[in-house]
Amino acid sequence: MARRAVPVRPDTLGAHLEACAAGLPAITALRLCHRFGTGDAAHITRLPRELILLIEEHVHAANWHLRSKPDCEWRSTFTCFQSRCEPRKHKGDWSAYSAVVDSYMRECDHCAKNTMHDNNCPYRCPDELNRLCPACAVGEGPEACHGTCRGRRESEVNRLLWDHAAFSEQHEINKRTWMDKIRQGPASRFAKYDRLLLQHFGLEVFFASTQIDRENVNWPRDFQHRWHAGTDIGTTLCYLTLPRTDGPSGIFVNGSTREKQGRVLVEAAQALPVDLTSLATPAASMRRRFTSAMKALALTPSVHPSQKHASPVSANKLKMRKDAEREDAERKDEERKPPEP
């Protein structure tokens, strides 16, 4: 049977799996009471199954709200791993640096009186001239504009903290924490979520961390990349997959030392038989596994732009497209042939 995979955001998957695990005891009790409750007070047994499912969704949603905030560990550590973080957003007491910035920066009259609203700041990006900062260019709203008094002040604090040892140390800790959170294996932190996915949805998860390809124009550039070295920019790809059986892998390692040039060259590669395409339509029960997991965990397909795909496409559709292109080319060849005398 062909392999199937659905790409999702790894931080969203992790946060929602954590929320799902937290809500499972309550949901298990709900299901047991609905199915086996006895006595006159067991009114829950008379509720329709559809209503029980709605209650389960409410329990999950409440946990998602608590555990999937922008500053939760899943999201904050992934932001650091991708080098999309600001120095001032890391843990630490940066009040002294804020005081330094306040000593030489002055807010406009509007922002001094309206600290929570940037709509009328005179330094806000002038839309009519089409000179937009990265935040305004993608329509994030005036509160995210880098040109306002708030934005300029935050940028100055970031500039002072840029080469601060405490920021660098916390940033590296966050990156290591992210790698530890997605590390898989019997004794790993993610092992309980691997079991949850397999037991409740019949699926597995595949992680692959990668660094930026400078020649890949599809890799998204972020305004906060300016605070990080280009070699530190990376991301983690994540796929929900059907359970797989590990196959043989080919490993190549080669090394050489050039003492005169003071360099050490190491080449390594590993070939894994991973097939993410579909040459045949999977069984309906297999498709339902993905549908059930995506709905229960509130996930949406998410393809990283570096993968050069606009959206997941099955091999069946690719084959149909190639057949149509071949037929079109053959028709044009026939039209170009000179008429027989």
| Band of pLDDT at residue 314, cut at 50, 70 and 90 | very low
User: Structural domain tally of the chain?
Assistant: 1
Assigned domain for 96 exists: yes
Assigned domain for 254 exists: no
Assigned domain for 78 exists: yes
Assigned domain for 248 exists: no
Could you give the 3-state DSSP secondary structure of residue 83? coil
Half-sphere exposure of 32 (CA within 13 A, CB side): 6
According to the model, what pLDDT value does residue 266 have?
56
Span of 33-47, 122-136, 318-332 with lowest mean pLDDT: 318-332
Rounded to the nearest 10°, the torsion over CA 156, 162, 164, 168 is 140
Assigned domain for 60 exists: yes
Q: Which residues face 240 on adjacent strands? A: 6, 205
| Band of pLDDT at residue 8, cut at 50, 70 and 90 | very high
Q: Which residues face 264 on adjacent strands? A: 257
According to the model, what pLDDT value does residue 147 have?
84
Assigned domain for 341 exists: no
Domain that holds residue 83: 5-243+278-309
Assigned domain for 68 exists: yes
According to the model, what pLDDT value does residue 33 have?
85
Residue 237 φ then ψ, to 5°: -90, 145
Distances from the Cα of 217 to the Cαs of 8, 221, 237, 245, 306, in angstroms? 21, 9, 18, 35, 8
Distances from the Cα of 44 to the Cαs of 50, 62, 174, 330, in angstroms? 12, 21, 45, 66
Assigned domain for 333 exists: no
